[in-house]
Structures are given as C-alpha cells and as structure tokens.
Structure 1
C-alpha cells in the first residue's frame, strides 16, 4: 500500500467528527494537520490524533506532507479555501456544496483542472449500498424505462439542534443548497444528468430562534428562501420533482421514489449510506426488499475522499468535482428559475460516475481508533 496519503483538515465543526470516524486509523490515509478558526478546538483535535499538528490554514496548506486538503468550512468559505489549496498544489475534497455560488464552483473546477490536481466533493452518501443498489436495479432494467422520480426532504429547520445555525440561512445555505446535494446527487446517479429546471420558492419567516447551545433563544435573520420545489428534466427524458423545506414539520413520503414503465423503486434516505431499497413490480401485489448488490458496505462520511485517494489519478473520483459542479448548477438554477419565473437550461453535463461494486468493509476500511 505504501506510505499513507497525507490529509490536512480545514474546519473542525460538527461534521468533522463523522469524517474522523472514517479517516482516523485508516491504513491508506493519515491526518497530518488540522486547522480551525478556533485554535483551542484545533489543538484539542490534534491532541487526540497521534502525529497530527494543529496549524494555521496557511501553515497547513504549505505542510510538505499534506497531499490532499479536506475542506470542511462553512459554504461561504468553500471556494476561498479550495482555491488556496489548489494554488498550493494540493488535491481538494470539499464538503457540500462545492461552493456557495455557481461561478465560484466553476472557478474551483477550472483552477483544479489547470493545476492538474484532483478535486472531490461531497456528498459521498450516494456511494453506499442504498443509492448504489437502487442504481444497479435501474441500470439492470428492473423497472423498465425510467419515467419519473420524486425527492422529498422536509424539516422545521436546523436551528432547533445546531448551536451555531447562522450559515444555514445565509448565501450558500437554505434547504436546497444544504440538503439538496444529497437528493440531487442521488437523482443524477439514478437517472443521469439534468438538462433544464423549473423552480418555485418561498420564505416563511424573516427570523429563526436558536434552540440549543450557548446562544439558545437568540434570533438570527433568514436571508434565503426556506422552501424550494421544482422539476428537473434529465437528459434521458425522465422528469424528477424535488421538494426541500426548512418550514414543514414531517412527511410520510419516501425520500426518493423512481417510477418506470414496469415498476417502482422506493429509495432510502440519501443522507445515509444504507437502507432498504424496495421494489413494486407492475402487476405485483406488494413491495419487496432488494438485497444490497452494490456500494461500499458500512460506509460513512469520508469514503468519497478514500475513493479519491484510491483512484490515484487513474480514474475520476466517484464523488468528483465536475459531478459536484453539475449538482451545484442544478440547485442554483432552480433558485434562479424561482426568482425569474422561467425555465433554465443548464450549461454543465456530468457523466455518471463509475458504479461502486459491492465492497465489504474489510476491503476499504480499518478498525477505527478510540475517541473518534
């Protein structure tokens, strides 16, 4: 296997713990350095990872052993940190979305291409057994020709549990750019790229109240639409409807359903790596659970970065930058369509990544270290 691939992590918020569960102790990678605006937080994380240094962002980008930067900053900082890493000659894997705006995302992809570095982008949940098994069923003709799909994500809002939820309600946030990447990525995995969109959006209220942590009770402004719905026209002809909301309370709808001429698939939550894929055949009498047939078994956040490292430049990473850019354009075009009241044609086309064969944990993972 050779020496572990050196990783530097910028941003040590809530999501970083999930990434460290996968990366800490993995034989193929080593967390060389970490950086965060909160120096005490950075020092605490480094202290829990033997051989890891707590550095400034600038120091991390220049560390000779950091080959790939894992960018876990807030969306508004994604492009700045990614571009800095690319300019330093580092590969980048960035948390979703690729950037807060489509032009910024396009700049990141173009700069990475010009620099000859690899670029990856979350979500990597679509590489788990849930979405990959559903994709294998669609590709295998189980439901016949795909006609349509629906995707639904509703929640009253992340301010109920997140102690610092401000970024969810500023540029780069909102239900579509925050949670939409899971659903749009899954729809593109299942049905192929999107050629045009039509969207509508609304904003329920101008303020939100933080529900937990040291700022409980504090009011924060809402600067983005908090309920977004729309239609995606896929290149292959299928139509997807999507609803993402920080205003609704609950739903009984399946996270994703895919309808074909001879059957329907109920697809599990794309915010998770696994879950039951259910099939209802034309003329059938009920739903039947499909056995997992594809995907990384037992995967967790960070598998997309591991996949990028394993690709080693010999193939595109399965959670790649161009795919992330297409997802970002799809979402920002939906918001533009809602604002302008018209159909928007997309300018990007992303090839579906190579499918993930059924891959057991012992083939991709290692025992996790204690404390992470």
Structure 2
C-alpha cells in the first residue's frame, strides 16, 4: 500500500487525539509537525517520535501531500489557502472556516488546482453512526418526519486550559459543536434546505475555572445559546439547540423521527454509543452496532479515508463540499437571528458514501 505523506500544522489539545488515532491507519505517513510556538511543536514531536520543523518547511516539503490543519478556527482558511498555493491537499479540523464566504474561497481555490479539501468532523464515520445510517437507508423509519439535536452545557471554561477562543468571533457553541450534529444529520437525512434560528448572549464575561487559568475573567463576543429549526430537502424538520449556558438537560443527543419508527442516535462527538429504535406500536430496542470503528476514538479516520481516496482515485467522505454546506447552515442561524428571516441554503451536497467495512483492509472491524 502506498503511504501518503502528512504534515501537521497546529499542535494544540486536539493534536494528541489525531496522532494517537493515526496509528490505526498505515496509509498515513506523518513526515513532520509545526506550530507557531516551536516549543509546542517540539514537545508534541518528542511525545510521538516525530520531527518538528518550521511552518515554512511543512509547506515546502515535496514528500508531504496533505496538510493536516489543526490551528484555531480563525486560522483554518488562511492555512488552507497556503496549503493549496503550495500544491498540497488540506484536511482541516472543524469548522472548515468561521465565515461562509471565506470557506467558499478555499473550496473554489482547491477545485481550480484539482486539489482536495477535507474537514472534520469525521465522527459520522464511526460504527454507531454508520449503523444508524444503514437503518435509515434500509427504509426502516419510513418517510422522514423530523428530529431533535441537542448539545447543551455550562461552557468550556470549566475544563479547557485556554478557553478564550470559544468566546471570540468565530467561536460559540454552534461553530464549536454544531459541526458534529449537523454533519451527522446530513449523513442521515441529506442536505439542509432552510434554516430559522435565534441566538442569545446573556453574559458579557466568563470566569475560567480550569486549573491553569483559574479565576481569570474573559470577554464574550458571540451568542452562547443558539436554537432553531433545520428544514431538510427531503421535508424533514429538525429542532436544534447548541448552548454554553445550560447547567444540565435530559435530551438525548439526536432523535430521528419517521412515519414507521423513531431512531435514537448516540453523541455525534464520539464514534460509538448505543443506537436504539422504536417501531410504531413497539418498544425501545437496542440495535447492535454491526459496522467498524465503534470501539474507540478514531479521530484521524476522515484524514485516512481521504488519503486512501487519493491513492484509489475515488471521492473521500469527510469532504470540502460537505464541510462548506455545514458551515453555511451554521452561519444561517446567526443571519436568521439578526434578520428575523428564514434563510435559504445555497450549497449543494451529496450524502457521503456509507462506510460498512474497514478502510484499511475492506473487512468488518478495524
């Protein structure tokens, strides 16, 4: 199997999860890592036995085919465009960008050079979410009616060592957690056609309670509670709430309603979890997960699928068109909240191909 050279830019919190998961995917050949903070790059490189170099060296290295962009959200498009200019494919941590128009520039620039863009989240490729996808595709729910999607917590300042960016422009619960939920909904139901929503910012400051910066007060510049409605092209209507303001709740992460059955889908921030179904007139029943990648944190699977797709000359699943569609949907909540209007979604997207077997060897399992 031909390996694909990977260069990583950005060595923050999430990079460790990517590097640990990359070991499950032999197609990924991590050549070097880089960060604006050379000490952070060296520390992560030493931890995983890799080479730390400058950012310029990452872009210039001819052995690197894909730039894995793990910078902060506001830098995603800038770094992505530099990768495209250097003639490299780019795979970004979520979201694709913080502004739809900028994300669109990235996708257009890549297509003009016949290069690929990929983007997290890739959790929809996890075994539990692919099991849910199979149930939908087999028609067991009947006609899609709607659903609910909920992520609500008190805020990331409780645990994140440097949480200020979550409350700056480009942050907030919709851009942070919305990608997981909306991407999984598109995986299950197809493209979104319309959005209506409201966002509120009830506090101008937050107090950090995580250990490193405990007691520090940070400003808030974005809506921290966002609720609204997604109308899908297939007619399904889904209620959604993303919040950094809620002490606790009892909603399940995702419910999908059909005329014949209701499906409970586990947390789309994870690859596994219990899928449940209730057929009309029946009882809740656990569904055995019969797809791979449900038993761990495979936070590099989207990147690995993209690398395999380059080698095999096929579409990759966590692709730029999907990420751009999700970004447009998320931005539509802010637009709708400000204007009081329903927002029409313009980006076309095709549901990614299901993943029923291992991308490594084509067998059920890892």
Q: State TM-score, norm by structure 2.
A: 0.96
Within-5 A mapping of 1:22-171? 22-24=21-23, 26-50=25-49, 52-171=50-169
Q: Which runs of 5+ in 2 are unaligned?
A: none
Within-5 A mapping of 1:162-181? 162-181=160-179
Q: Which runs of 5+ in 1 are unaligned?
A: 368-372
Q: State TM-score, norm by structure 1.
A: 0.94
Report the counterpart of residue 11 of structure 1 in structure 2.
10
Report the counterpart of residue 191 of structure 2 in structure 1.
193
> How many residues are aligned here?
364
Report the counterpart of residue 206 of structure 2 in structure 1.
208
1:275 to 268, 273, 277: 273
Equivalents in 2 of 1:76, 1:102: separation in Å?
Answer: 12
Equivalents in 2 of 1:30, 1:366: separation in Å?
Answer: 22
Deviations 1:230-267 (A, max 9, x none): 11110011111110000001111110000100110011
Report if the CA contact (8 A) 1:163-1:216 is conserved.
Answer: no
Asked if 1:287 is matched to 2:275, the reply is no
Report the counterpart of residue 345 of structure 1 in structure 2.
344
Change beyond 3 A, Cα 1:91–1:365: farther
Equivalents in 2 of 1:153, 1:295: separation in Å?
Answer: 25
> How many Å apart are 1:363 and its aligned residue?
5.4
SS class of match (1:279): strand
Equivalents in 1 of 2:303, 2:25: separation in Å?
Answer: 12
2:229 to 220, 228, 231: 231
Equivalents in 2 of 1:283, 1:290: separation in Å?
Answer: 17
Equivalents in 2 of 1:69, 1:137: separation in Å?
Answer: 35
Report if the CA contact (8 A) 1:25-1:366 is conserved.
Answer: no
Report the counterpart of residue 183 of structure 1 in structure 2.
181
> How many Å apart are 1:43 and its aligned residue?
1.0
> How many Å apart are 1:272 and its aligned residue?
0.4
RMSD value over aligned CA atoms? 1.8
Asked if 1:359 is matched to 2:358, the reply is yes
Equivalents in 2 of 1:88, 1:117: separation in Å?
Answer: 11
Deviations 1:209-236 (A, max 9, x none): 1112332211111000000011111001
> How many Å apart are 1:297 and its aligned residue?
4.1
Report the counterpart of residue 335 of structure 2 in structure 1.
336
